Amino acid sequence: MATLGLSPQEKEAVDAFRRDVVEPSMSSLVIIDFWAEWCGPCKALTPILEKVTADYAGKGVTLAKIDVDANQFIAAQFQVRSIPTVYAMFQGQLVADLTSARTESQLRTMLDQILRQLPVQSEEAQAEAELEPLIAMGEQVLAEGDAERALAIFEQIAEMAPDHPQVAAGRARALIALGRAEEAEAVLAALPEDVAKGAEIEQARAALALAQEATPVDDLGGLRDRAASGDMEARYELAGALMASDRDAAAETLLEMIREDRDWNEGAARSRLLKLFEAVGLEDPWVSAQRRKLSAILFG
């Protein structure tokens, strides 16, 4: 926005706009609200804009309000013909017209779409980048079978991000591996509603359901003998007992049961196998391999 040939008032307005809107937009997404005191629809929209942008502050969103009566030159530069007019600016460029968003839900939807497409700097993104290697460490330790150490790692991370879905899920799965299902259930139950719907939490809940479903076995050797004799109930119980300690053996037992009688007990073996897949994670390579085995049995 050139200043050559402008009046002192216009130059002051341009300088203020650069300082308050353009410069912050170099790293943040600035929502520009063109309004006026006499505008009824503006007064209805203002609380929505203020609430949503405050909620999105951690994502790098800020609000700039431009009174069109006090800033006629700026409004003219943006060809504002009616108010309220709401734009989104990033790195000095208008990236979206948000004027049609008159409800909180509509505005949130549009902001989510914009933020997915732009490299907006935010406190949340920076915090997430710092947590990623720590979470990966906890997951690796848990995968290696050291649930006690994994729990210690996830609990340390939880002090920094108590409601982070991956952290909460990691804590819960470590507690489950340690046989502390009630504590794992408490961790998941304490999460806010929006966090509790995440895929990581659903996976942890599936693991918890398996742990709660399994019956403790005092004589595993005897159970193995009964299962080896072909007793379907014993094989089903053995698979449940092996879920936490030997998923390969558990899956193989259930696959053999399905191969021999897929309808036994109303498909209980297949149902338990699918629960195991969900607990491990549907994107896990191990699950993909087991699903191929299941497909070969069902459709081969």
Question: Which residues belong to the active site?
Answer: 39, 42
Residue 171, CB-side half-sphere exposure with 13 Å CA sphere: 25
Contact 195, 163 (CB under 8 A): yes
Contact 13, 74 (CB under 8 A): yes
- Of the candidates 97, 125, 129, 101, the residue with the CA atom closest to the CA atom of residue 28: 125
Structure tokens, 115: 């933020």
What is the maximal distance between C-alpha atoms in the chain? 97
* Amino acid identity, position 69: D
Alpha carbon distances (Å) from 71 to 9, 65, 74, 99: 10, 11, 5, 19
Structure tokens, 282: 């549907």
Which strands form 93-97's sheet, in the order they lie side by side? 61-67, 29-35, 85-90, 93-97
76: CB partners within 8 A, 6+ apart: none
Which element (helix H / strand E) includes 88? strand 85-90
Q: How many helices (H) and strands (E) does the chain have?
A: 15, 4
Structure tokens, 79: 């060809």
